[in-house]
Structure 1
């Protein structure tokens, strides 16, 4: 069927959205894994800097993001910016497969669910994308949390009094020996409370902001005039930045608590309330926003890169 005929009565912004049922799942997972791994390589150092800022104590608390970055390069060189990377990249593939599957299936179901309510396009998108992000993040935590616990310990190894490990296997063995398998899920509740709402807020902000931007550009109800690829990428990138800003501001405090809880020594197991009290005592309420800059940059850059790659990938592998 001719593409022009098929899309002539569809608002032009919707021509950039691909139905999950039409995608070649094998290509999505294989090619997507490669693309997302590349994005992870590029942005991983930001996660290391953010994590170190969040757990800093003593003199290290006086360093900002750039000073922390320079200190890592001075002490460990470029490899220091990739501590725990092997562990993260190993768990990235199954985590992404679970995440993308839950995301798209929930989004499709949610859109059908809210359609009868005749809500505005931005509101429908916010609800459907928010529920999809919440579902995807919650489902992927079973794989992600152990990876996160191990990688964060590697990121801060030898820093601010934290133990240093030989590698991911060494960390896992140490945790299992002292706490059992459940030790790999330390902070699981907080992780779900951090990443599930974070994912929900990100996808809701992205979905609604995209509709608002398309409306401002006159494409929301413009039938038959497909926007250029450059304009599509620009709108997606802008939506990703907006989503990153909203998400980082809303979720950084709980992310800081989660990170501190996960990197604590295996023999020292403070309660969440104790971590909160110590953080307030040391720095006041502003301490909850330690690492906000790197988290905003990471959330925006990762989200923007991921969504542009994913949207392009979806269109590339969708059968026409």
Structure 2
């Protein structure tokens, strides 16, 4: 009986939702925070698997995925799975912003944003051609 009431309440809630959601109706702060968090979480979770897959595709057969993971970790450590552009940009933009007179917390925020952009651009410069080639093959 309780389950039927919960199901009916959920159905009523769905019926009250608008048929179309437009930009003005969205809570942008939640959208940006949740969108960024979810996208980053998915990227961090899946990127190492993509790196291993790419190594397996270009390695002479037969190669085990575990051997590829060990080789990447021993040669590049955990940073080998992620773009180095993030750290390089962050470490150069932060001090430059402080030298320009920006407060340290603001400089950190600017450096983090610039690092995220540069890492995304670097990833796309590498990822998009690799993805196109691998899908065409």
Under a length normalisation based on structure 2, what TM-score does the superposition of the two structures give?
0.48
Under a length normalisation based on structure 1, what TM-score does the superposition of the two structures give?
0.24
